[in-house]
């Protein structure tokens, strides 16, 4: 039940299918021009804006869900973490997972500069990401072939990793190695995102401007 309750408690933080409609509308209708006039790095501004939106939604949801889950009768209740070390790694993995999912969502935003429409790419990423991150179905229940595929993609590092560290389903050593992999994926996706953003802004045209 830990898998279910923790995913529900941090749903708004780890759900990949949450997008910032305001950012997407700015790109589509050309009001992004106002952002370009302001003295800040647009990538990081949007990145922190999207991240803060996720944390704001998560804080309103997680504490009531966790309190409810802790006091439910067995076997439906949320169990405490397997150890203090596992709980610390859980928090680190959860935080890094939020950075990772924000990096992925930023790629969707940036690709909209080139396609002028986000529905195609976002639908693909939301479907694949929802399945391979453990939100739709716990990853241990997936076929072996799909499990092998998840090892090479960043999606399992969004939520599945943190929850399985908490419950003791994976050991501490594997958890630490996966956290290092989280950091590598975050760096890779941010670099790709910034390069695409630079290319997009160098060719951006404002309709009617």
- Rounded to whole angstroms, how far apart are CA atoms 184 and 158? 13
> How many domains does the structure of the chain reveal?
1
Query: Does residue 177 carry a pLDDT above 90?
Result: yes
Label residue 151 left, alpha or beta by phi (over 0 means left) and psi (-120 to 50 means alpha). alpha
- Structure tokens, 191: 């670099």
- Structure tokens, 171: 């050991």
In a domain, 160, yes or no: yes
| Radius of gyration over every alpha carbon of the chain, rounded to an integer in angstroms | 18
- Rounded to whole angstroms, how far apart are CA atoms 86 and 1? 17
- Structure tokens, 190: 């941010």
CB 17 within 8 A of CB 126: yes
What DSSP element (H or E) covers 204?
Answer: none
What DSSP element (H or E) covers 166?
Answer: helix 160-167
Query: Does residue 208 carry a pLDDT above 80?
Result: no
pLDDT at 158: 92
Most confident of 34-38, 71-75, 109-113, 173-177: 173-177
In a domain, 131, yes or no: yes
Task: Judge if pTM exceeds 0.85.
Answer: yes
Percent of the chain with pLDDT over 70: 94
In a domain, 208, yes or no: no
Q: 161 is in which domain, residue-wise?
A: 2-203
pLDDT (average), residues 118-146: 82
In a domain, 130, yes or no: yes
In a domain, 159, yes or no: yes
In a domain, 138, yes or no: yes
pLDDT at 209: 47
CB burial of 151-162 (b: ≥16 within 10 Å; e: otherwise) equals eeebbbbbbbbb
In a domain, 17, yes or no: yes
- Structure tokens, 100: 């990772």
Most confident of 144-153, 180-189, 191-200: 180-189
Distance of CA 88 to the CA centre of its chain: 19
Report residue 154: phi and psi, to 5°.
-80, -10
In a domain, 188, yes or no: yes
Q: What is the pLDDT of residues 91-131, one digit of tens each?
A: 999 999 999 999 999 998 888 888 777 677 778 888 888 88
């Amino acid at each position: 039940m830990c898998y279910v309750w923790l995913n529900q408690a941090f749903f708004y933080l780890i759900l990949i299918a949450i997008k910032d409609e305001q950012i997407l509308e700015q790109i589509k209708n050309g009001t992004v021009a106002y952002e370009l006039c302001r003295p800040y790095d647009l990538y990081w501004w949007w990145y922190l804006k999207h991240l803060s939106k996720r944390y704001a939604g998560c804080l309103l949801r997680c504490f009531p869900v966790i309190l409810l889950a802790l006091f439910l009768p067995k076997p439906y209740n949320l169990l405490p973490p397997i150890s203090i070390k596992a709980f610390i790694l859980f928090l680190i993995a959860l935080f890094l997972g939020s950075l990772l999912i924000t990096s992925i969502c930023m790629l969707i935003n940036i690709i909209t500069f080139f396609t002028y429409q986000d529905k195609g790419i976002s639908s693909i990423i939301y479907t694949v990401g929802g399945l391979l991150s453990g939100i739709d179905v716990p990853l241990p229940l997936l076929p072996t072939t799909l499990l092998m595929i998840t090892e090479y993609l960043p999606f399992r590092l969004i939520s599945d990793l943190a929850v399985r560290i908490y419950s003791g389903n994976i050991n501490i050593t594997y958890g630490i190695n996966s956290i290092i992999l989280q950091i590598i994926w975050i760096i890779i996706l941010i670099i790709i995102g910034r390069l695409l953003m630079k290319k997009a802004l160098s060719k951006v045209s404002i309709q009617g401007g």
